[in-house]
Structure 1
Amino acid sequence: MALVDALGNLARFVLLPGQSHDLVGVKPLIQDVEFDMFLGDKAFDADWLRTELNERGAVVVIPPKSNRKQKIDCDFHAYRWRHLVENFFCSLKTFRRIATRYEKTDQSYRAMINLAALKIAMR
């Protein structure tokens, strides 16, 4: 999971096991980070997350799941900017070492992601 700034540069990331849901990594990802707007996809549509973000004063731009009983509006004009996260992951996967996960340990994989993100930001 990654948190990117308004320019699409990596601000923070969290490694998760492949079989875990994305909501598991949200708390450590946004802890002690100030932001004005949170853009996420439908996987982040959880009441506890919306409540926490509203308490922090952030604008929540998450489309509601189709099975949600209480419909929530979403600013789809602002949601279009979520492509910056997808663009970051696309740029990150151009590094073969990251895409195929050559590193054996989480520590070395984190280091390679940091190096790749630095190179992407310097372009």
Structure 2
Amino acid sequence: MTREWDVTRTTVGTLSIWVGTAALFAPRTLPRLLGASETGTRADVLLPLLVRLAAARNIAMGAALLVTPAPQARRTTEVTLLLTALDAAAVLVARRGGDVARRSVATSLAVLGTAAAGAVRWHRR
């Protein structure tokens, strides 16, 4: 189980760092690729700040997953799942307001489902 956990947390941690880094350096482009409106991503003056804050969080959570040994990884997994759930809720609210494309909701829910399945799997062991 330890080897399997190491592969999983290394993969998720590395992916979080890469996504966070992309968002840090492309705070208008990445939201557009994920379905935010082009008008909003060009005109909103606060968007880069908010995206970069989320990027910093992603990088921090990815780093935490990379350095957390398997016995203590449960808490890190729980925090990551909670943050992912909050992100999904924010996307759903934005979609209801017409601010994001349908694909954003699908992507967000897929990420949430994957994170939840992973958390359930690791917590059952």
TM-score normalized with structure 2 length: 0.27
Structure number with greater CO (CA < 8 Å, separation at least 6) is 2
Whichever structure has more strand as a proportion of its residues is 1
Structure with greater helix share of residues: 2
